[in-house]
Amino acid sequence: MDQSLKSPPVLALDDAFHAMIEASRSAPPPSLAARLDSLRRLRTMLADNEKRLEQAISADFGHRCAVETTIAETLFLQAEIKHTLKLLPRWMAPRRIATALQFWPARNRLLPQPLGVVGIIAPWNYPLQLTLAPAIGAIAAGNRVLIKPSELTPRFAALLREVIAAHFDPTVLSVTGIEDGVAQAFAALPFDHLVFTGSTRVGRIVAEAAGRNLTPVTLELGGKSPTIVDVSADLDQAAERIAYAKLLNAGQTCIAPDYVFVPEPQRDAFADKLHRNMLQMFGTNPANNDYTSIISDRHYARLEGLLRDAIARGAKPLSATSPEDPAWKKLRKFPPTVLIGATPDMAIMQEEIFGPLLPVMTYRAADEVIRYINAHDRPLALYWFGRDDAAREAVLARTVSGGVTINDCLLHFAQMNQPMGGVGASGIGHYHGEWGFNSFSKLKPVFYRSPFNRMKDLYPPYGTSIARIEKLLRLLS
């Protein structure tokens, strides 16, 4: 685009990006000491501004439960930084790779190398965690990082820009604006790697924009994460754990249980237990500070539409009140709702819910559930409850998902030694811990030729000895 046609925010974005590119291409890769220093700066920044960040996020939501921000965002990031600080020296070290016998006494090494500049397009639902978790991996790998926060969290975005600017050189870590046109321009920049967290629909647009520059992407998307309650499950335990996972952040979680399959005879009993657990956790008062608001009026209206469509198609809601109740609507608190008798034709079963609505479907045989899941896009997460080892292993073997938690929900995401990522429509690539370090590094293979290697015997002109050499190579291959 002609520079004269670009808005001031886009011009500022271009300047920030090109300054990072120039620095990454001209300066040597950051040392271990420099990377550890950046991670410690990030840790200090979080600790010094924890309350301010929490308040900014809550203001953007209308109300965000402070405990949820602490547990799901701040403490998560502190744990990831601690994990990375401890293991980064090992991750950075050249890795010994076996050398095939015919090349001995040569050797192979795999050298982790920074890619350069990593862009992060962050979502609004966990704005702190899902912005800085990939940044931790990118910084550990020696990259420079440019962040684009969500337009739905402007207070948080402004504060994050301020506190990062106070702790980091702008060519190392920087936050760009949320003004109109910046998101599209950001995705179109020729980053060395681009991370996007958000919906599958927008993820396709980001991937297309990145593809024009052959920019590799990590896409953390969403979709409909199924929960299976096996006939062998403890219904009370399953209902309690599913209720908590579903209502964390008022259901605005990409790996939240999106729908539940229960054995047909247990449907009503399970739905009742689920609803009672929801009431026990969050009560019936919309002013309850433990319960988070829906991010915007538009998202609230979308959830109302899903609920109306489900009821019109025969679903029975279990809820303390209607979302049209003025007391709830004023605070954008959507009443937790269980939907009994959900069917595939309902809109709520055709798009990611991203809110405190939980459809309950039934099955007679486990094969029905597996067929249903496999007939739809690969989910970001899958949850299974039960005690039957054979039934559990059948589901694990016959379904493909980004990750799985058994007899609970969400917790696979918090495992620093495990990768986090989707598959198919739910995402591409991984991060967390060493997986993030590897994703944001070029793992460069290097072959060190030995002076004693007889590769010269393969050079032309080929004589009678080549037949013996070929025979030997066939034996070694």
What's 213-270 look like in SS3? CCCCEEEECCCCCEEEECCCCCHHHHHHHHHHHHHHHHHCCCCCCCEEEEEHHHHHHH
Confidence of residue 469 (pLDDT cuts 50, 70, 90): confident
pLDDT band with cut points at 50, 70 and 90 for residue 2: low
Using the predicted structure, report yes or no on whether residue 107 has a pLDDT greater than 70: yes
Q: Is 208 a catalytic residue?
A: no
- pLDDT of 36: 98
Asked if residue 192 has pLDDT above 70, the reply is yes
The residue-averaged pLDDT of 150-177 equals 96
Residue 353's identity, in one-letter code, is: I
Band of pLDDT at residue 429, cut at 50, 70 and 90: very high
What pLDDT sits at residue 403? Answer: 97
The structural domains of the chain, ordered by start, are: 3-221+428-442 (3.40.605.10), 226-419 (3.40.309.10)
User: Region 285-312: what's the mean pLDDT?
Assistant: 98
The whole-angstrom separation of Cα 175 and Cα 119 is 10
What mean pLDDT comes out for the span 228-252? Answer: 98
Inform me whether the pLDDT recorded for 190 exceeds 60.
yes
pLDDT tens string 57-93: 999 999 999 999 999 999 999 999 999 999 999 999 9
The confidence band for 476, taking pLDDT boundaries of 50, 70 and 90, is confident
Does residue 433 surpass a pLDDT of 90? yes
Given a contact cutoff of 8 angstroms between Cβ atoms, the answer to whether 148 and 183 are in contact is yes
Side chain identity, residue 61? F
Q: What are 289's two structure tokens? A: 């500070």
Query: Looking at residue 4, what is its pLDDT?
Result: 58
- Average pLDDT of the residues of the chain: 95
- The pLDDT of 230-237, averaged and rounded, is 98
Whether residue 13 has pLDDT greater than 80: yes
* Residue whose structure tokens are 């970001």: 380
The residue ranking higher by pLDDT, 1 or 347, is 347
Q: How far does the chain reach from its first CA to its final CA, in angstroms?
A: 53
Predicted confidence at residue 5, as pLDDT, reads: 64
Place of tokens 């046609």: 5
What is the pLDDT at residue 352?
Answer: 96
Query: Alpha carbon of 239 to those of 72, 176, 342: distances in Å?
Result: 21, 42, 17
Give one word for 46, left, alpha or beta, with left for phi > 0 and alpha for psi -120 to 50: alpha
Asked if pLDDT for residue 1 goes beyond 60, the answer is no
422: which residues sit within 8 A by CB, 6+ positions away? 219, 220, 221, 223, 378, 380, 402, 428
Query: Tokens at residue 248, please?
Result: 């964390």
Does position 281 have pLDDT exceeding 70, yes or no? Answer: yes
- The sign of the torsion formed by the CA atoms of 158, 428, 135, 441 equals negative
- pLDDT for 356: 98
Q: Residues near 166 by Cβ (< 8 Å), separated by ≥ 6?
A: 45
Q: Which of 54, 68, 220, 434 is catalytic?
A: 220
Confidence of residue 3 (pLDDT cuts 50, 70, 90): low
The predicted pLDDT at position 43 comes to 98
Give the side-chain half-sphere CA count within 13 A for 383: 29
Q: Which two tokens stand for residue 130?
A: 């899902």
Residue 333 has pLDDT above 80, yes or no: yes
Please tell me the least confidently modeled range out of 115-129, 263-277, 346-360, 439-453: 439-453
Task: Quickly state the pLDDT bin for 315 (edges 50, 70, 90).
Answer: very high
Q: Of the given ranges (97-101, 225-229, 283-287, 305-309), which has the lowest mean pLDDT?
A: 97-101
